[in-house]
Chain A
Amino acid sequence: MIARLFFNMSDKRYMNKKLQQIGNNLNVELIEPTSVIDPDIILSSGTQIMKANYIFLEDFGRYYYINNYTFEYERIIAHCHVDVLMSFAPELAKENVIVERSNFDTSSLYLNDNELRMYNYSLFKTMELIPQSNIHFSDTAEQMVMICSGSI
């Protein structure tokens, strides 16, 4: 089976990984029975191999994280787990989803955000209302009013 070894520089959460290929394409064998999700791959020894943490198996059409290496006689066995994001990135890209959280431009800050953290203090602001006419209350005013009946 044709394989390509990579050094993956991206976090697992990246859909598209940033990869640096290590060496040329390889012929590898699988330890059978194998799994498309967690295959164990037999590699020939080589100084470059141990630098790889990521592998693409052409027949499976999938990218894999190399979780661990074990050694058996002359063989190096890479224990892998499928990277579902990178492997299915083109198909995932066409999917429609309802976004729960996202970057600034595709989010709404007016939706309730239970993840926001707030200090335990509050910010206060007082704002005076402005009189709109000559009639208003005044600290200096003293207007007497008297109502009399029978004021003909």
Chain B
Amino acid sequence: MSSFRSLNLNNGQGINLGFITSFYGLRGYSPIETQRPTGFNINKLKSTIQDKYSSNVQSAINIINNTSYDSFDEANTALDGVADTLLNNVYWLYGDLYTGGCFMWSPSGSDTVQFVTFHGLYHVDDLIQGDHYDYYCSSLNVPFRVHANNDDTAPIVDNVLYFFNANDTGENAPTNHIFQSELGLRIVDSRSLGIWSGWDKKTSDLPERWEQFEGYTPVYTTAEFEAFYLREYTDDDYNTNDSHPWYRLFQTRVVPNLSFFTGVNVPNGELVGGYVPIEDSDAVTVPDSDPNGDSGRQQGGDGDKDGVGDDVGSGEVPSSNFLNTGISRIYLPTESQMTAFNRYIFSDISQSVVDQLKKMWSNPLDYIENIGVCRLTGLTPSGTSNISFGGIDTGVSCNYINNAFIEFDYKRNIGEFWGNALDYSSYTKLKIFIPYCGLYDLNVDEFMINIDKYGGCDVTLRYRVDLMSGMCVAMIRPSRAQYGTDYGNLNSFLYQFNGNIYLPLSLTATDWRNTYQSVLGIAGGMIAPSPSTAVGMAENIMGQKVNVQHSGSIGTNFGYMGIQTPYLIVERPAISEPKLNKDYNYGTNYGYPSNKLMEINNLRGFVKVRKGSFWGQNLHATDEERKEIISLLENEGVWMG
């Protein structure tokens, strides 16, 4: 059994809690911001752990073998069974267990303690390290560490792999308690998170912690879950003096204002979808950086605020009725048919016919308007007939097509990578290579949108080809929602480029000369992509980047030799953020941009106030004190506990 497969969420129903090892109400808890993991390889993590701690695994197995379970697998299987039956009681507002997200769960039965179990068997010890408490949990599968400052400001709940050696006799030696893992999240009020861990199956040394849960009747709890990712920490990161490495597996954080819904009438206590706004509707937002979450968005002046536009389509493919007149016919010869035709032209045609034609025309080949080859597949002939020109039936059978214009699409869905402003111009750049047309810059703002919330953007490349000449128009359309509900969708063709998909073939040397002159003439007229202009803020490092031309003219026979697949090139900046640890993370300590109008009382963590927005109307302070307050709020920033 995969030790990690057994990690499940449940609400604890059916599990005898036993004794709670620790509980801390973390008032003023501030969720942290980290990059949401992508592409996490659970197998790699598993093998890493097993390679590194194979001896410890065996030790733990030995310990577990001394419990009522006969084996670790049996214990794990038993716990799996409990967890799986309750998995559905967790409702994910977005994301999931393996990618991270925000989940909500309800208490079961008459429990006054709501909790989520991150399933596993643990080996637990608790220590006091300086000014904070550490709870060390080791496990065969999903270990974690609950870390809390002993004041009310602990900003982080880490779930960390920490393996003890069961024979360790050092100061951190475990007391050989065997725990089932339970990361308990307990909401005391809308801003406070209680956490506990462990289910002691062997000892009863910490029963008093239970009392701290009494008296609460939670309804719903919501927490944000930073799913699996592996990050190694040194002891310095956690200010510990032991020699064990840490592996943070995931973090959990409460979602302020979304965490606890008192007074919500939930029928039969069953879980309901979505989240329910209470009291302060502005505060009840999923903290997913919705760009419209700020209270002052796009207020503007007296404009009509009608942001819903029209879908500008590509129109209809032109009619090909003129082909029915017989003035021209488009043949799609195979190699053998073309060979037969050539034989007819240069060998079989009788001198008398030529002489007859020369009476009317200077050259019989003038009847052949165009001949070329392209790398299109999938053209469906309308029928087969003998090739004829100038009223002469050559007797050479050949496929023909009755449509002078064809149309075909390419498509790709794209979306944000960082989930922030860096996904847009002028940080992120977007180019498209269009076979036979060239490489062009696109305005990334027209194509970018969040995938999780808005489904991303479908980029459509539509070719419309004139089979008579090989000329093509390549049109590009973004299809996506727009942020906010008042602006409709963007679903219009915004770009048009032109090219020619034919490699011209010639029947005579004169034609070849004309062909190349034509090619060179066309090439000179082709639109080459122009270097992007660096536009942006002074701080915009991307705006200072060199933008080189990746392609010149890609028309006619150049395109024939080139890449046949259209593709996008996305160039993104790479963010550098300070490393997270127990005392510092960028979001809580330095903050992210905001533009919300809020009461200070509703803020937590680091806060910096926009210049001039603090009025201090309720303040009974001297003018000098006011100036100092304003300076702190506007320049240095303050920490709201």
**A101 contacts B377, CB within 8 Å?**
no
Bound complex: CA of A14 vs CA of B621, how far in Å? Answer: 18
Q: Shortest CB–CB separation between residue A107 and chain B, in angstroms?
A: 4
Bound complex: CA of A100 vs CA of B611, how far in Å? Answer: 8
**B567 contacts A85, CB within 8 Å?**
no
Contact of B420 among A15, A109, A120, A148 (CB under 8 A): A109
Bound complex: CA of A60 vs CA of B284, how far in Å? Answer: 39
**B377 contacts A138, CB within 8 Å?**
yes
Segment from B211-219, B264-272, B366-374 that makes contact with A: B366-374
Bound complex: CA of A143 vs CA of B624, how far in Å? Answer: 84
Q: Which residues of B contact A128 (CB under 8 A)?
A: 412, 565-567
Bound complex: CA of A142 vs CA of B327, how far in Å? Answer: 26
Q: Shortest CB–CB separation between residue A64 and chain B, in angstroms?
A: 12
Interface residues of A in 88-119 (CB under 8 A from B): 88, 91-119
Contact of A94 among B372, B411, B601, B625 (CB under 8 A): B601
**B326 contacts A104, CB within 8 Å?**
no
**B606 contacts A134, CB within 8 Å?**
no
**B593 contacts A111, CB within 8 Å?**
yes
Q: Shortest CB–CB separation between residue B68 and chain A, in angstroms?
A: 43
**A148 contacts B369, CB within 8 Å?**
yes
A122 within 8 A of B: yes
Q: A97-B597, A104-B592, A111-B594 known; A148 and B571 CB under 8 Å?
A: no
A137 within 8 A of B: yes
A59 within 8 A of B: no
Q: Shortest CB–CB separation between residue A89 and chain B, in angstroms?
A: 9
Q: A15-B640, A105-B255, A150-B389 known; A110 and B420 CB under 8 Å?
A: yes
What 1/0 mask marks residues of chain A from 27 to 63 whose CB sits below 8 Å from any chain B CB? 0000000001100000000000000000000000000
**B333 contacts A146, CB within 8 Å?**
yes
**A91 contacts B151, CB within 8 Å?**
no
B482 within 8 A of A: no
Interface residues of B in 573-619 (CB under 8 A from A): 573-577, 587-588, 590-611, 613-619
**A95 contacts B379, CB within 8 Å?**
no
Bound complex: CA of A116 vs CA of B574, how far in Å? Answer: 10
Bound complex: CA of A110 vs CA of B428, how far in Å? Answer: 13
By size class, the interface of chain A is 35 or more
Q: Which residues of B contact A118 (CB under 8 A)?
A: 422, 427, 541-542, 573-576
Interface residues of B in 507-521 (CB under 8 A from A): none
Contact of B594 among A99, A126, A152 (CB under 8 A): A99
Q: Shortest CB–CB separation between residue B176 and chain A, in angstroms?
A: 35
Bound complex: CA of A37 vs CA of B371, how far in Å? Answer: 92
Q: Which residues of B contact A87 (CB under 8 A)?
A: 621, 625
Q: Which residues of A contact B620 (CB under 8 A)?
A: 88, 91
Contact of A123 among B328, B412, B574 (CB under 8 A): B574
Bound complex: CA of A19 vs CA of B467, how far in Å? Answer: 83
**A36 contacts B375, CB within 8 Å?**
no
Bound complex: CA of A132 vs CA of B615, how far in Å? Answer: 59
Q: Shortest CB–CB separation between residue B369 and chain A, in angstroms?
A: 4
Bound complex: CA of A102 vs CA of B586, how far in Å? Answer: 10
B274 within 8 A of A: no
Q: A92-B629, A136-B410 known; A117 and B576 CB under 8 Å?
A: yes
Nearest neighbor of B371 in chain A, beta-carbon distance: A146
B195 within 8 A of A: no
**A99 contacts B598, CB within 8 Å?**
yes
What 1/0 mask marks residues of chain B from 306 to 332 whose CB sits below 8 Å from any chain A CB? 000000000000000000001111111
Q: Which residues of B contact A130 (CB under 8 A)?
A: 410-412
Nearest neighbor of B467 in chain A, beta-carbon distance: A145
**A133 contacts B409, CB within 8 Å?**
yes
Bound complex: CA of A103 vs CA of B512, how far in Å? Answer: 69
A72 within 8 A of B: no
A11, A98, A120, A148 — which one has the most chain B CB atoms within 10 A of its CB?
A148
**B629 contacts A85, CB within 8 Å?**
yes
Contact of A103 among B30, B329, B501, B638 (CB under 8 A): B30
Nearest neighbor of B621 in chain A, beta-carbon distance: A88
B143 within 8 A of A: no
Nearest neighbor of A115 in chain B, beta-carbon distance: B590
Q: Shortest CB–CB separation between residue B71 and chain A, in angstroms?
A: 43
B31 within 8 A of A: yes
**B593 contacts A101, CB within 8 Å?**
yes
**A104 contacts B607, CB within 8 Å?**
no
**B291 contacts A108, CB within 8 Å?**
yes
**A136 contacts B377, CB within 8 Å?**
yes
**B376 contacts A103, CB within 8 Å?**
no
Q: Which residues of A contact B607 (CB under 8 A)?
A: 99, 101-103
B130 within 8 A of A: no
Q: Which residues of B contact A82 (CB under 8 A)?
A: 625, 628
**A121 contacts B592, CB within 8 Å?**
no
B294 within 8 A of A: yes
Q: A103-B31, A129-B410, A129-B566 known; A143 and B388 CB under 8 Å?
A: no
Q: Mark B residues whose CB is within 8 Å of A.
A: 30-33, 151-153, 255-257, 287, 289-291, 293-294, 296, 326-335, 338, 341, 367-380, 387-391, 398, 406, 408-412, 414, 417, 419-422, 424, 427, 435, 459, 461, 467-468, 470, 483, 501-502, 505, 537, 539, 541-542, 545, 564-577, 587-588, 590-611, 613-622, 624-625, 628-629, 632-634, 636-641
Q: Which 7 A-B pairs have the closest CB atoms?
A: A134-B378, A101-B591, A110-B291, A109-B420, A129-B410, A103-B605, A151-B329
A selection of 26 A-B contacts at a CB cut-off of 8 Å is A10-B151, A18-B153, A87-B625, A95-B616, A95-B618, A97-B610, A97-B613, A99-B596, A100-B610, A100-B634, A101-B594, A104-B32, A106-B603, A107-B594, A108-B595, A110-B483, A117-B576, A118-B422, A127-B568, A135-B408, A136-B410, A144-B338, A144-B371, A147-B328, A148-B331, A152-B388
Q: Mark A residues whose CB is within 8 Å of B.
A: 9-11, 13-16, 18, 36-37, 82, 84-85, 87-88, 91-152
A-B contact sample (12 more), CB < 8 A, given A138-B375, A141-B376, A146-B370: A16-B641, A84-B621, A100-B594, A104-B30, A104-B592, A109-B419, A122-B572, A123-B574, A133-B408, A145-B330, A145-B371, A149-B367
